[in-house]
A and B are shown apart, each in its own frame.
Chain A
């Protein structure tokens, strides 16, 4: 209905099918790139001496394997059918709804670019994140491994800023319990740690300063959690207590019964006992922070156990494992933070004495390895996964510069295009804006895009008409396609009204545009035959009418119909996507 707006349907079957199809088709491309990259890397590696072997520090191994696994989980979560439309609209944009203008603008730009090509964007991220995960797991040492770290950090930063709105710091109460400072930030930190020379992770000064940074961070998070007046201590009305509200919201999302019950219990328990939960978290975070600041073996072990226990409890009870209900892109912040702190803690434990760490194989260049199958396989695997990451990165970068839009956003907004299978179109006897009679017989030989437009509609109808013209322009102003609008206002239905609308929209010179009207009886019959509701809804309101579009072929048969949602203007994502949908449907008949 004009003026009533439209909302995105995240799991539109057509988009789900297109996403699935795109992934299936892209597998061939991805495999080809991976094989090519792997082959090239192996050939080059065999011509050069292999780099010296180093024993990977345990902290680095934990980061590499841990975050490699997390990227693979994230990549798998990106396969969710609702991701093409849902990621920008239900995940990304809400995180910056109340953010400062610059961040909001940046994220909106990125989201709009995504929504112009949602299937392409979603599939690119699948390959990008799966590639990153495999790359980190396979590339154990050398240049390939460090490059994987930097790639991971770079994508993590993009996700943290654009996908996560700086860790969601502008949404709701900022709290470690709810994910602050953002899961992606740990991916960035881990990526940087993997990207620097491995020896750095064994340098006493770096490890100490990292430990102090973590300690200060945890103490600050504890202070934030303890800050009064934010509802975490149970103050204020029950409806605004964040812990209970979060648990209630989580519990309402679709998930297994056992976790739903758990969320329900947490919601009840935190209704009156919020202060107990908060006190435990504040003390736990503060002690963990102090442990990292003290940096002795006992304190570090205590911190790791304490933080690990807290994080696990929060992940289960508050964050609902990070994957249930809604659209989840990762398993939230607790697991990455635990992996990162565990790596930092173990690195610190290696330096409980005063002597600098020595890494076997790093003092003096290391030993030379024979070209084993395993080594070549790792190089090949690294190159293959790097190739996949490169494909994903290039594609996700390209959606910002690709012109126009695909039809997915329009389909998600207006509903799936229904195939009418060629049933005869209902007839009508009307006149167009030039006073010429118009009926199915006069339209024979033309493909007709039939819409219903109100000449005094002030919201969507003018935009819809402009999108029709944009479609005609994109098709090269074809003479065998007519764009026929039928008046959808029972009061302002004169031919003069269609003339004024045509002039207002600048369509006087567009020969293929027809705006038809007729007697009240004939208009009512036409609306009825095409199933279009037209109703005067109230004083001061424009007429409400259905915005169905029909495609009629040259033989007068109905081929397709859908509910058109023009969007805020013809240049918007929905507007461009609507134009693309019209073009797509016409091309399907030609």
Chain B
């Protein structure tokens, strides 16, 4: 799948398949996750996940439309490509409309966390949870918040892969 990266030389904005995107680093995303942890009791991690889901969905819908992807498998494959193109790592997704599972063999956030803070006691992939919720919903033509995603293993906690369960609500 070809992803179009463009740069608006009037406003100096970057676009990925027509969606305004921006370059940041592992310091920023891991500290953002840490901030969400700090306010977890008030819903910080939920906000982080939903912010990601709502931001990724338009990108996935744009890619699905641009490439005329009709079946869920090819739509999930497109989302997999976006994950890597964004520098987030390598994600493998399996399942159907009722849900499924996902694994990360390589992870920007986990590896960035280990580099910056060392091992974590808590899961650190709430952004990827949002990504997966958006991917499954886009693949199966469902609205936002259709899927509950839970991180069940984490590279940042010392596991060999990060793993997620995805359940249709």
Co-complex (A, B): no
Q: Which of A's residues lie within 8 Å of B, judged by CB?
A: none
B residues contacting A by CB (< 8 A) are: none
